[in-house]
Amino acid sequence: MLIYETENFIVESHEKPFVSRTEGGHIRIKIKDESIIERTQLSPSQAIEYIRLTMVVGKAMEEIMNRHGIPVIKVNYQDMGNWATKKGNQSYLHCHVMGRAKNAKKQPWPEAVYLPDRGTGFYDDFEPLDEEDVKMIREEIEKIFT
């Protein structure tokens, strides 16, 4: 679900999250130009946009999830892109923004996020952000940017 968009990036709720909504949530920031596979290929202006966007999205996510009763105490940011190659696809630059709730059970804080292969069933009951989360995170991002 689209949350926000800038000149070079799309911010979206990850529909198959690594961290369930009830444990903090998961947002993906992906580059529009999928020929860019890692941050070293960004222009200086794209790099500034990318870092600033991750900061704003993380802040907005933490604020809104806490308002919604999810006790997020930390936000993790991770560039990845390895799994696309399992299916023969080209990886592209994207950042996973994951809220970490102090009461999480499957992705407990302060442990690192556990990322087994999708085929294990580990993520099967994980919930993506809901429409109200997305709406309010978008509003918070817009507020921070103005």
Strand residues in 6-86 grouped as ranges (E): 9-13, 26-31, 72-79
Confidence of residue 15 (pLDDT cuts 50, 70, 90): very high
- 87, pLDDT greater than 90: no
Measure the CA angle with vertex 131, ends 126 and 136; round to 5°. 110
| Summary mean pLDDT of the chain | 94
The pTM (predicted TM-score) of the whole model is 0.94
Above 80 in pLDDT, residue 57?
yes
- Rounded to an integer, what distance in angstroms lies between the CA atom of residue 101 and that of residue 30? 24
> Token pair for residue 35?
């020929």
Q: What is the pLDDT of residues 121-141, one digit of tens each?
A: 999 999 999 999 999 999 999
Across 53-77, average pLDDT: 98
Instruction: Please report the pLDDT score of residue 83 as a whole number.
Output: 63
pLDDT of residue 55: 97
Sign of the dihedral defined by the CA atoms of residues 110, 60, 64, 78, in that order: negative
